[in-house]
Structure formats: C-alpha cells, structure tokens
Amino acid sequence: MDAREAGERIERELLILTRNRETSTPRGVRDGGALDRSAYVLLSRLEAQGPMSIPDFVEAFGFNASTFTRQTSALLREGLVERTLDPDGGVARKFRVTDKGSARLAEQREEFVDGLTGVIADWPAERLQRFVADLERFNTDIERISGRSWPRPMAGEH
C-alpha cells in the first residue's frame, strides 16, 4: 500500500470514527447535559494550557476570532468559563475553566473513556501500546506540519 491509498483509507476511517462519536453523544450545551464537541474541545484546551484569550484560541486552532467569540459566549452563559485578568500581566482578558466547567468536562471525559475502554477491553497489551503510539505519532506529525500543537502531559503523567 502506498501513502495515497493509506491516506484514502485513513480519511474514511476518521470519518467513520467521527460519525460514531457524534451519534453516540448527545449534542448541545445544556444545564447538566452533554457538552457539544466545540465546548468539549475548548474546555479541554483550557484545562491543558491554562487561561487563553480569543487571540490565543485563533493562534492555537487557526479559526476566525468570531468563531471563538460565539463559542466562549455560550460557555460564559452556561457558567463553564469565566473571564479573568491575564495572569502574565497582559491587557487582554483571558478565559479560564470554572469549577462547574471542570466538573462537566471530567464527567463527559469519563463517559468517553468508559466507552473507549469497552471497545478495546479485550485487546492485548502490546496491541494497545502500538495503537496509542501510532495515534500519538499521527497527531504529532499533523501538529508538526500545521505548526499547531496540543499541550500534552509530561512523560509519566496522564
């Protein structure tokens, strides 16, 4: 198999993976309900990186500022984030996850991890290690090419 054929097969499998995740998760940020995908991603990024401004989000994700203005406004209304002064002394206000946001994110992450664990529960340890290593390599290669990385825990942390 050459890189082109592999790319076509990976594209199809990523499409199916995204569809499976979307159809198994309730949509929409509601009081106590499931976080929508964009809320989950933004809260996860804030959790991993710490407080971020709209320009920080634009730099991290490469989308238009208006996208993040809409998304952060929804998170503010739900009490999942709050505006705070820049801890580094900058003039821009930054967003940070509230206790409520952390709790909702942790709850939903636990549901996702439980679901994934059910899928891979009977995989042998070496297959799990290989799959995780390959997935990490795939993502870090994309990040290297795009110039946009995702903060990861240090070695030994999860």
Q: What is the pLDDT of residues 77-86, one digit of tens each?
A: 999 999 998 7
How confident is the model over 35-58, as pLDDT tens digits? Answer: 888 999 999 999 999 999 999 999
Lowest mean pLDDT, pick from 29-33, 41-45, 62-66, 95-99: 29-33
- Whether 2 has a pLDDT exceeding 80, the answer reads yes
92 confidence band (pLDDT: 50, 70, 90): confident
Closest CA to 81 of 33, 37, 28, 45: 45
Residues counted in the chain: 158
What phi and psi values does residue 53 have, to the nearest 5 degrees? -95, 170
What the block records as the tokens of 148 is 């946009």
Closest CA to 150 of 44, 23, 29: 44
Residue 42: how many CB atoms within 10 A of its CB? 26
* DSSP 8-state code for residue 31: T
pTM: predicted TM-score of the whole model, two decimal places: 0.83
List, in sequence order, every residue forming a beta bridge with 95; answer none if it has no partner. Answer: 52, 83
Q: Look over the chain and give the mean of its residue pLDDT values, rounded to a whole number.
A: 87
pLDDT of 32: 62
What phi and psi values does residue 81 have, to the nearest 5 degrees? -135, 165
